[in-house]
Amino acid sequence: MTDNSKPQPERRLPVPLPPETPTPEPGGLKGLLRHRFLLVALVVVIFLGFLFFRGAYQELRTQEAQEAAQGKKPEASAHQVATQEPSPDPGAAHTPETEKDHTQEAAPAQKEVHETAAPTPPKAPPAHPVMAPKPRPEPVKGEVFTRALIKIMDDQVNQTMFGWRPNSIIFGKFGLTDNVNNVQLGVLEVVRRTVLVLNENLTRFAITEAYNPNINEARDFFMVSPDKYWFPSASGKYREAMRDLEIYIESLRKGRARFYTRVDNLIALTASYKDILGSSYHNLIKDKEADGSSVSWSMVDDYFYFGQGIALGMSQMLEAVKEEFHPELSKKNSHKLLEDAIHALHSGAQLSPWVVTNGAKDGILANHRANMSTYIGEAEHVIATLQTVLATN
Tell me the sheet residues that pair with 294.
288
CA nearest neighbour of 146 among 247, 32, 53: 247
Helix (H, G, I), strand (E, B) or coil at 294: strand
Task: Report d(CA 190, CA 312) in Å as an integer.
Answer: 9
List of E strands, the chain: none
Task: Report d(CA 333, CA 369) in Å as an integer.
Answer: 33
- Tell me the pLDDT tens digit for each residue of 320-373: 999 999 999 999 999 999 999 999 999 999 999 999 998 888 888 889 999 999
Contact partners, residue 20, CB within 8 Å, separation at least 6: none
CA nearest neighbour of 173 among 223, 227, 226: 227
DSSP letters along 346-383, please? HHHHT---SS--B--TTSSS-BHHHHHHHHHHHHHHHH
Q: What was the pLDDT predicted at 374?
A: 96
**How far, CA to CA in Å, does 215 sit from each of 203, 219, 257, 269, 313?**
8, 6, 10, 16, 19
CA nearest neighbour of 313 among 224, 203, 191: 191
Q: What was the pLDDT predicted at 177?
A: 87
Helix (H, G, I), strand (E, B) or coil at 262: coil
Helix (H, G, I), strand (E, B) or coil at 20: coil
Consecutive H or E run containing 181: helix 178-197
Q: What was the pLDDT predicted at 245?
A: 98
End-to-end C-alpha distance for the chain, whole angstroms: 143
> In this structure, which amino acid lies at residue 224?
V
Task: Report d(CA 9, CA 158) in Å as an integer.
Answer: 91
Task: Report d(CA 304, CA 284) in Å as an integer.
Answer: 7
Helix (H, G, I), strand (E, B) or coil at 76: coil
Burial class of 236 by CB neighbour count within 10 A (0 to 12, 13 to 18, 19+): middle
Q: Which of the residues in the chain have pLDDT under 70?
A: 1-37, 51, 55-56, 59, 62, 65-136, 393
Task: Report d(CA 383, CA 278) in Å as an integer.
Answer: 11
Task: Report d(CA 238, CA 300) in Å as an integer.
Answer: 28
Q: What was the pLDDT predicted at 360?
A: 84
Neighbours of 215 (CB within 10 A): 24
Contact partners, residue 344, CB within 8 Å, separation at least 6: 375, 376, 378, 379, 382
Neighbours of 355 (CB within 10 A): 7
Contact partners, residue 349, CB within 8 Å, separation at least 6: 308, 311, 312, 315
- Find the DSSP H helices in 198-231: 213-222
